[in-house]
Amino acid sequence: MHIARRMATLGTETAFEVLEKARSLEAQGKRIIHLEIGEPDFDTPMNIKSAAKKALDDGYTHYGPAPGLPELRAAIAKVMSKSIGVQISANQVVVTPGAKPIMFFAILACVDEGDEVIYPNPGFPIYESVINFVGAKPVPLVLREGKGFRFDIDDVKNAITQKTRMIIINSPHNPTGGILTKDDLREIAQLAVKHDLIVLSDEIYGRCVYDGFQHTSITQCSGMPERTIILDGFSKTFAMTGWRLGFGIMPQHLVPYISQLQINSTSCTASFTQMAGVEALLGPQNDAEAMIRKFKRRRDIIVDGLNEIPGFRCQKPLGAFYVFPNISRTGRSSRELSEYLLNEAGVACLSGTAFGAHGEGFLRFSYANSVENIQQALDRIKSAVAKL
């Protein structure tokens, strides 16, 4: 069968491939500790599950409006206006099955063939994939370990050309756990206004922050509400990865375009899932807050443990649930070491290069796993690396 040429430009997310490899080793009887996949190991809070069950009984089993149910759009506008500190109306919200479609739809709707898009590298692999898919040029913005995996604003200035259409930022950041400061956001905003650029701001880890850090959205900066698309969702904050529930907040004139893409692809997001989303946002927040406290403890354990392994150097990130140790002093490439750790130590993690060329020299570990498993993984990694 003929496969369309454009498929050759589409990338993927290696995490799912490594997960598959790890599962096949498990099928052979090997015990694998999973530190590769970016999903909370906690169960979805009970009040959210109950809301979904009630919604099913109440008949939320039909198609809904393409941009989302009014109940959920209103809840998102209410909660996000407060947390972001900028007034958002329900008409600026589009609800999608997971947050990922916002990435796809925003780039499809706003970026032409031949345009340039600046994106973080290392970074979530789907940015580069979709930029290539629409025939635009991905322009990597290097994140620097020495700056806590933040960028150098001069690198942003140098990356902007006449053809730049969009800048993608992601804070807290996957895969490094790094965050952008208010000054970083202000500097990016000034450049975006000066060069008339759209900013796609991936804030899906906005509530996964530690040590008193306060997440700020670039939308707060002057001139930004009219040029920012915020990507956010329920997967990480409420342990709802399998529910597929996310949203975008954007200038109102963009909503019909993003909705049209939704109509052409998924029609709408599952209705009972959306009603569960209303409960997630407006109901009690203690379970979500308890998850963050647990993540913080795990972060401290994994960072300290990795720093004790010869050849590893690991920063303590302020956000998300990932660490991104520098492993260049082990003398192995990222890919070699990740494969070695899977096969020899039974620890699944990702090569830094799964997040772009500038991830070479690093590994990504997700600490969305129990303290016992993290401790055992650290012991196994230490013994395996000692044998290198």
Residues near ligand PLP (CB under 6 A) are 38, 98-100, 124, 170, 174, 202, 204, 233, 235, 241, 246
- Beta strand 164-170 with 137-142 is unpaired
Closest to ligand PLP by CB, 148 or 206: 206
As measured in angstroms, the least distance from the Cβ of 106 to ligand PLP is: 12
Closest to ligand PLP by CB, 261 or 378: 261
As measured in angstroms, the least distance from the Cβ of 366 to ligand PLP is: 9
Closest to ligand PLP by CB, 129 or 241: 241
User: Which residue's CB comes closest to ligand PLP?
Assistant: 98
As measured in angstroms, the least distance from the Cβ of 338 to ligand PLP is: 18
As measured in angstroms, the least distance from the Cβ of 127 to ligand PLP is: 9
As measured in angstroms, the least distance from the Cβ of 279 to ligand PLP is: 17
Closest to ligand PLP by CB, 100 or 165: 100
Closest to ligand PLP by CB, 186 or 236: 236
As measured in angstroms, the least distance from the Cβ of 112 to ligand PLP is: 23
Closest to ligand PLP by CB, 120 or 305: 120
